[in-house]
């Protein structure tokens, strides 16, 4: 059982944060290399509008090699101001490898200047069978002008049997209705080495309410601390399609489909659907 939990530590680190469930607009740099970024990314900060969004989502993931499916359900609330600031919170129930966890998170987004945004986030799981006992995130977002942007983030998570860090740097470019981004991830498991992964992602925005569809591809390496063997390095390949579709000026759906190959451990196929309402 101890070895199985250690095997899951980095996998849990690389799962999407529950702030996505809050409709918070997670940019892809804070997620793992094999995860689908939120199709709501940047929506609040781009529009600069004052609104409140309630968001309900479910996800199902099929794993190969005899592992049971992963399931999750989440409920979140996100409130943004006209100055680009925001507050958000979410609760999530997940089932992974026959272990059920409950997670709570909260975060804040604050504009430091006309071109610089700061984000802080905290999370905890009272059950923490697979999820982190607690975690924190810090991120800076720079508008470099002429459609260019740079994001830098660091996420730290403490698990029952290990500690993990995931840092990332994203370079993005908006050009009309299109967005292109490259993200470098560097992950470290305590007692182990350092591994690097890469993601390229593109989005198309359409419609009067900024509906979107995007495609991302990831490759690289990840570290897993598996006792008694020690630290294992696995090759990762992933591809994802994400989207956000506004149904009315106040109702929208978000979706993603992901194919994630975690070396020889397993291949994960994910489908998710979320319904949101803007007040």
Tell me the domain boundaries of the chain: 2-278
Tallying the residues shown for the chain, one arrives at 279
Q: Does residue 105 contact residue 155 with C-beta atoms inside 8 Å?
A: no
pLDDT band at 67 (very low <50, low <70, confident <90, very high): confident
* Contacts of residue 169, Cβ cutoff 8 Å, sequence gap at least 6: 29, 150, 151, 152, 183, 184
Buried b (16+ CB within 10 A) or exposed e, 108-140: ebebeeeeebebebebbbeebbbbbeebebebe
Is the pLDDT confidence value at 10 over 50?
no
* Paired tokens of 113: 């200047």
Distance CA 218, CA 201 (A): 9
Phi and psi at 97, nearest 5°, equal 50, 45
Across 4-21, average pLDDT: 41
pLDDT for res 241: 98
CB 133 within 8 A of CB 161: no
- Is residue 99 exposed (0-12), middle (13-18) or buried (19+ Cβ within 10 Å)? middle
Looking at residue 8, its pLDDT comes to: 44
Which class is 2-278 in CATH? mainly beta
Q: What does the pLDDT read at residue 216?
A: 97
User: Which percentage of the chain shows pLDDT scores above 70?
Assistant: 78
Query: Mean pLDDT across the stretch 142-162?
Result: 93
- Residue 143 CA to residue 166 CA, distance in Å, equals 23
CA distance 9 to 16: 14
């Amino acid at each position: 059982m101890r070895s199985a939990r250690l095997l899951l530590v980095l996998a849990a680190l690389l799962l999407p944060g529950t702030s996505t469930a809050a409709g918070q607009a997670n940019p892809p740099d804070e997620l793992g290399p094999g995860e689908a970024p939120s199709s709501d990314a940047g929506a609040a900060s781009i529009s600069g509008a004052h609104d409140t969004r309630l968001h309900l989502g479910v996800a199902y993931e099929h794993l190969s090699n005899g592992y049971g499916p992963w399931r999750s359900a989440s409920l979140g609330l996100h409130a943004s101001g006209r100055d680009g600031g925001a507050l958000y919170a979410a609760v999530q129930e997940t089932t992974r490898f026959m272990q059920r966890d409950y997670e709570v998170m909260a975060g804040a987004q604050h504009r430091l200047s006309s071109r610089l945004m700061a984000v802080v986030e905290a999370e905890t799981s009272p059950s923490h069978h697979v999820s982190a006992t607690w975690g924190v995130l810090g991120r800076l977002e720079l508008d470099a002008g002429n459609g260019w942007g740079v994001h830098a983030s660091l996420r730290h998570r403490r698990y029952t049997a290990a500690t993990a860090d995931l840092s990332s740097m994203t370079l993005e470019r908006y050009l009309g209705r299109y967005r292109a981004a490259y993200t470098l991830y560097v992950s470290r498991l305590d007692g182990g080495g350092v591994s690097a992964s890469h993601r390229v992602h593109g989005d198309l925005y359409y419609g009067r309410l900024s509906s979107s569809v995007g495609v991302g591809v990831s490759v690289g390496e990840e570290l897993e601390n598996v006792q008694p063997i020690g630290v294992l390095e696995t090759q990762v390949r992933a591809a994802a399609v994400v989207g956000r579709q506004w149904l009315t000026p106040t109702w929208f759906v978000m979706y993603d489909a992901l194919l994630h190959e975690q070396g020889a451990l397993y291949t994960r196929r994910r489908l998710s659907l979320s319904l949101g309402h803007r007040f």
